[in-house]
């Protein structure tokens, strides 16, 4: 019943904005999850992860562990991955949201955690050759200020995926961290 009520509210709201069939069709295409949203469902479920953090290029990474849970929100429009683990020897909790904007034709992501007070926001597209999602954004480093990054999300299969973050400095991509996820059985 709640779904039916929500559907009618959306339709009525759309009618109030849409003046004709063409406009109504555009609104319906914008609000309907599609193939890109379906791709995000690869991350549904419970996961164990290893977080590798490189403090300097060429040095061995610091390895941290944790768990994550992926779930779709708002009728399959957004993916939320909740993390609970350790980073830099401290407890870390984080929430990551992924979506795909049907109008802009781009993936969008938001990251928040208890290791800071800012938002990390990125946007990107699917690399059709590798089937990786490549995102670009920036985050705040308490010492260096704003840092730009490239994130690469790779799905090896339905039970394994990884996200690598490369800090962008002076035209170079420097691997800063990698999270390797393995689905719990």
What integer pLDDT is reported at residue 64 of this predicted model?
95
Q: Structure pTM?
A: 0.84
Residue 15: DSSP 8-state: H
Selected residue with higher pLDDT from 5 and 159 = 159
| Tens digit of each residue's pLDDT (9 = 90 or more) over 124-172 | 999 989 889 999 999 888 888 888 999 999 988 889 999 999 998 888 9
Which residue, 148, 135, 132, 130, is CA-closest to 106? 135
| Tens digit of each residue's pLDDT (9 = 90 or more) over 82-134 | 999 999 889 999 999 999 999 999 999 999 999 999 999 999 999 989 889 99
End-to-end CA distance of the chain: 34
Top CATH class of 36-183 equals: mainly beta
Q: What is the residue extent of each domain of the chain?
A: 2-32, 36-183
Sorted by sequence, the CB contacts under 8 Å of residue 99 that are 6+ apart come out as: 37, 40, 77, 78, 79, 107, 108, 109
Q: The tokens 């870390």 sit on which residue?
A: 92
Q: The tokens 């480093």 sit on which residue?
A: 141
The CA R_g of the chain, rounded to the nearest whole Å, is 19
What integer pLDDT is reported at residue 14 of this predicted model?
54
Beta bridge partners of 91: 86
């Amino acid at each position: 019943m709640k779904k039916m009520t929500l559907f009618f509210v959306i339709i009525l709201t759309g009618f109030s904005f849409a003046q004709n069939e063409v406009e109504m069709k555009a609104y319906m295409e914008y609000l309907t999850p599609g193939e890109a949203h379906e791709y995000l469902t690869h991350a549904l479920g419970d996961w164990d992860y290893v977080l590798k953090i490189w403090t300097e290029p060429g040095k061995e990474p610091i390895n941290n562990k944790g768990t994550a849970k992926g779930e779709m929100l708002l009728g399959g429009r957004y993916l939320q991955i909740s993390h609970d683990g350790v980073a830099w020897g401290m407890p870390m909790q984080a929430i990551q949201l992924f979506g795909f904007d049907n109008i802009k034709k781009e993936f969008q992501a938001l990251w928040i955690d208890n290791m800071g007070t800012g938002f990390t926001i990125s946007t990107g597209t699917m690399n059709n050759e590798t089937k990786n999602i490549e995102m670009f954004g920036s985050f705040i480093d308490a010492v260096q200020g704003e840092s730009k990054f490239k994130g690469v999300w790779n799905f090896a299969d339905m039970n394994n995926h990884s996200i690598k973050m490369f800090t962008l400095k002076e035209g170079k991509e420097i691997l800063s961290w990698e999270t390797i996820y393995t689905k719990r059985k």
